Structure 1
């Protein structure tokens, strides 16, 4: 049932650029002005976070746009404190829009006496008064089950499929999607099926955490334009080595499509020197100046998808409809000409 109030957006300091872009897209979709709620989210001298909302939000349907990317702890606390401020201000409903869900890689116990931090974060979010979560490409699908509230997990693969169909339309028959490890096969297969191309796998073996000892290509990539697909690129060590391995196996070109460009430490420098022709990421994480100025990194927007998802949640209509190219294509019209 549609909400009686208008959807209202509020942003923390994690990715204000994306928040403003979502507001602009919602304005276009609705034909009514949608702007960010006037608020301040700042720090005291001892780095305590303080939030003050300047507008009346009583009875409003609130959407907090806040990826919990680096610095993960600060951005997570901003999200929780904003939620508390809105709850105490009598907001009707609070939805957390978390394009990048930090701590998602700690989704299980890998050895004795280690935490499941993703579950802890889920508990904190629920206790803060947030009633719904909207995110994109969770590192592990089971994280949705960590929450006792609805979680809508969007996928970047429909956006990537549109981009690939446009970028490689001249030689789509030579394209092959590649999973950089066995764990990502389901994600890569889903994209391969969307664009109707074959799938290959790079099998990696680690001798110790953070180091890749050996890589083997499963599948024939000879003469193919290989597209590596993954959800997170952190230091880019594995990604760049996978690209080297594919080129050694006879690939014609290597490109990568990664949802969340964490790109910490030496990542941007590695990518700049890599054999990869291009790395395509989304704007789920605010890109640094180094990322923006790297010649072989390209950013595709998620604001059209998030704007429509927010409107669907507000209207009480299907969010999963955005997984269909028939629904998503018109939202991205003007960006991609027909393949």
Structure 2
């Protein structure tokens, strides 16, 4: 085929209750683009073109771009002989936003390359490659962004792969990116090296209770444990406006509020469209710090990566 394009949706890491183990893919209900696209096509020489609203913050040297690096890593992992390709990255997600920006680029690149080469890597191997590439940027290998962006929905990392959890179909996920950028590596450095026994037990109990509630479709139980025992206590004070917004959103009917990934994006879970619109209105007017910020009412992006091909 002459050209393959893969769209990888934005994702929330952790989802409060599942630090480094739980992630969710997002799709705005109004059809807005909230994810990166990568196209792959044959070329006389290998090159990378970047465009999109956030292309201006990408590395000037194409070889420093994670999409370019994904190509080299893909050839090595698949055992295919390298051939000259043109890659085009449409960068629609802000860097350092907490919406899986680097993961979206990685997933779109790896998925497009794999489809272009007739799925030379099976899904488990491809996800492993995505995690390794994401780790080069975030500072550690974890899959809670790449797995949902690739596979869709809410993904729980188990052993060496991921499992999609049953969804609560009536939930709206309202997300707001304030417009400031936070380094994932620096936000991870705020966390303690060790946790006490009580905190560790509480984390395990709540994650287990959330997974159980998803399978039994017990909304009340799921919402009651949708809290962050490990990261939010340390990160929240470093995210401007988060604590005030969390309190206000609870008053407006949000059932749960948390930090998306490392922040500064926050998310609010609402059980009806009216509460979601109230949260959206508040965040648009009270959380955004500059013109680059945005807020969206979302559902889960259940399909993950979406492909288009041109012959």
Category of TM-score, reference length = shorter chain: under 0.3
- Bigger radius of gyration: 1
TM-score if structure 2 supplies the norm length? 0.26
Q: Which has the higher contact order (CA 8 A, sep 6+)?
A: 2
